[in-house]
Structure 1
Amino acid sequence: MFKLSSTLAMIYLATVSLAAPGPAVSIKARGADASVNVEVCTGNPGTGCVSIPIGSDSCNNLDGGLVFLNKEISSAIVPGGIVCTFFEDFGCLSEQGGADVVVLTSGTWSFFSVPGTAEPTVDFNDLTSSFSCSPL
């Protein structure tokens, strides 16, 4: 037969085991809170930088609280697995058949020389008014 202290210890362990969330619950909770950020800078990477949370295919206009970045972005850090399109106009719209847009995949980019859609490389420094990002 069990002693009283052994019975109480088993009840305590059972209570703790039932109350503590399992690993799957913890991972799921952290995953829901996780967000992806793009870092845009008014100078070289590390100078005048702002980390902006992105939603898949959401247009980020550089107005309101981000107006200080409008036509001021000189570099960006795009996280792995993400592609971002930077536009000269608000609303993530191209009005020049793609000549006013740059598409950047993961990495650190200087906007003085980035891959263009109409030319191999373009100077897109201080031209961005909006951008959108999505997973690759």
Structure 2
Amino acid sequence: MGLPTEIFSVKAILAALAFAAVSTSTLVVPAPLTPATITVCSGTISPPNGCLTISVVSDSCVNLTGGLSFLNKEISFAQVPNGFVCTFYQDFGCLNGGVNGHDVAILTGGTTNLANARGIASNQNFNDQTSSITCSPI
């Protein structure tokens, strides 16, 4: 009589393991979101002078107003984390109002001197031009 109970418990264990394997293989758990940060400087970045680290939320516009107003039209250097692209705008509201693209700078991972920043058409002097910023993962 001990045999049927042992077989049942082995079958029950195998069934439970099979269920667990199937249910965990179909379960998708999103990775936790970590806020990205960029560093912007009104002076130099090395050595740091007038630098501030700003948290950015993907595709959200950061206007340089309120507590950030001291940076409005004052950013000379920016450091963007790898895997991100940030657009720096001359206007508030992250608006690109120009037809020639000279009112935005597009920065990817690394440190950029905004006096020679990548624009839509070519590199340009975007020093002391920024009023708003958007960033998103690449």
Smaller-chain TM-score range? 0.7 to 0.9
TM superposition shift of 1:85:
0.2
| TM-superposition CA deviations, 1:33-92 (whole Å, max 9, x none) | x32100000012111110000000000000011000000000000001000000000000
Out of 98, 102, 120, the position equivalent to 1:99 is 102
What are the ranges of 5 or more consecutive residues in structure 2 without an aligned counterpart? 1-28
Q: How many residues align?
A: 106
Q: In the alignment, is the contact (CA less than 8 A) between 2:104 and 2:119 conserved in 1? A: yes
**Partner residue, 1:39:** 39
TM superposition shift of 1:125:
0.3
1:44 alignment partner, SS class: coil
TM-score when normalising by structure 2: 0.73
Identity %: 50
Distance 1:38 1:117 in 2: 21
Out of 69, 72, 86, the position equivalent to 1:70 is 72
Out of 44, 55, 58, the position equivalent to 1:56 is 58
**Larger mean Cα displacement after TM superposition, 65-74 or 98-107:** 98-107
4+ residue segments displaced more than 3 Å: none
Q: In the alignment, is the contact (CA less than 8 A) between 2:102 and 2:124 conserved in 1? A: no
RMSD of the TM alignment (CA)? 1.6
Q: Could you say which structure has the larger radius of gyration?
A: 2
> Does structure 1 residue 115 correspond to structure 2 residue 118?
yes
